[in-house]
Structure 1
Amino acid sequence: MKNDEPTVGRRVLLRTAVFLALAGAATGVIDFGGGTGTAGPEAPGGAPGPGQGPGTGPGPAAGSGPAAGAPGARALPDKAYRLQPMTAEVPARPPAVKPAVRTRPLLALPSGPSTASAMVLTFDDGPDPRYTPAVLDTLARYGVHAMFFVCGEMATDNRDLLRRIAAEGHAIGNHTWTHPHIPKLSRPALASEIGRTSEVVQQTTGEAPLWFRAPYGEWNRAAFEIGAELGMEPLAWTVDSLDWTEPGTAPIVSRILKGAAPGVIVLSHDAGGDRTQSVRALGSYLPQLLARGYRMTLPALPPR
């Protein structure tokens, strides 16, 4: 049986090692670097942790490695810190400043030196692939910008045009989703009309509209309140081209040239019917306005 003696000896050693490891785990004494130490938090610089003053705790065993806290010792890290909240506070995002709720829409640019020769061209009801591209081409030819009050149902079907409008530096306003008569809508229905349109504009261009215009110029308190809640100012117009009546190109041109004045906001359309006359009229009155010294500009948001 002499051949079994080495095997028996190794079994005894293994059992002893397992026993010692279990005992160490039960008493909280674990060796990570050839020595022993008491598990628990360690003060900075290797100083004793709470309850570990001089002379307390088990001392180093004979023949063992360095004691806990000594160079070369590695104490079990305290995992309790993982459950603690982070001390650094995340700075709160400042709330968006919403415009005041108005009782009437803005009708013209504010008077002043910066608007002495300024006018605003606006186009409603689009974008329409039959007419909007021609309007954009004419504006680009003369290097001017305009405002496009879009309807959500048109915008969602013509997102490429919506992106082009924004990319060429024009302003995009909210003109509801289906161009309804606002006074006939419930407040939830109106909120949906306005909110969905702002959403599709933001999804497509990356920016929500900052201006709102009521279809037919039919404003009520709910329209002002919902528009303000969505961060928009209400904008109407000063000169109505009446192009929506399709009176012919010459009457549209005559009406706009006659109404031209500093601070004027002109209403035209690039959708909602046959807008061939509107497109032709723009090509006629725009160069004449510029020749008279007028600047086509975009309105600045009033102070909030």
Structure 2
Amino acid sequence: MNDTMHRILTLAVAVLALASCGTTQNQGSPATTVPAVNDDRGAFRDLYRELVETNTTASQGSCTEAAQKMAARLKGAGYADKDLVFFSPPDHPKDGGLVATLGGSDAAAKPILLLAHIDVVEAKREDWKRDPFTLAEDNGYFYARGAEDDKAMAAIFVDSLMRYRTENFVPKRPIRVALTCGEEGGGQVNGAEWLHQNRPQLVDAEFVINEGAGGDLNEDNKPVLLEIQAGQKIYQDFTLEVTDEGGHSSQPGSFNAIQAPRGGPEPSCRHAVPRPAQRHHPGLLQGSGPAAAG
């Protein structure tokens, strides 16, 4: 299991533990805490492989097919049809998804929604050393289109719901997983947005956990950081205006407004937008070597 999977797993475990505060087992059983993680890696890898190797690109794939495969696994773990809701935009039958719910002991409590997208960016075979739609492991790293973004998290969420059901685990607050399409663009319908506009009752939750943040484990697999993302990247347009004394191109002067140096030989426009600050914390710096000046 690679470092990326470790970071995603750290977030998933923390989220599911939070959802389980005040948990109980089935009625008649004594109260219990969150069950220990089952180390059945083979079963998880089989689920993960199936999801990754299901093509969900906009050009040739089907998110609906991937959602149906995940639903079949949940049904095999004991989920009833009423717990699994398929949705698909009428004009885009391949852009469907799944909302799966693990019921809670408090009927009045709103669920926690775990949101993961199962569509992936296009992948040309000639651009890859391996088949991008065949999961491969090499030196502890997984390789395939969607192996990280975002099918790792989607697979972890589905696997967690399966384990909870087979272990007769009931959280106080319902846990709901939504697998959606269209996050990567490419003409697919954005499933999260479609649900919000057309089936709002399915995503009406106390709060939502989406991809984007994460966590880090050290070399001993101990958590050192859990990131919380408060916003998402967006684009921004800038208009820069640089002026100089009037003149004619046939008689250029030593000063040019476009290439005017600003404290050095580089054009000033290169310094107009500052670079984002580099993220630093002990877990990332570990093993990076001695600090260097500058």
Smaller-chain TM-score range? under 0.3
Q: Which has the higher helix share?
A: 1
Whichever of the two has the greater Rg, that structure is 1
Q: Which has the higher strand share?
A: 2
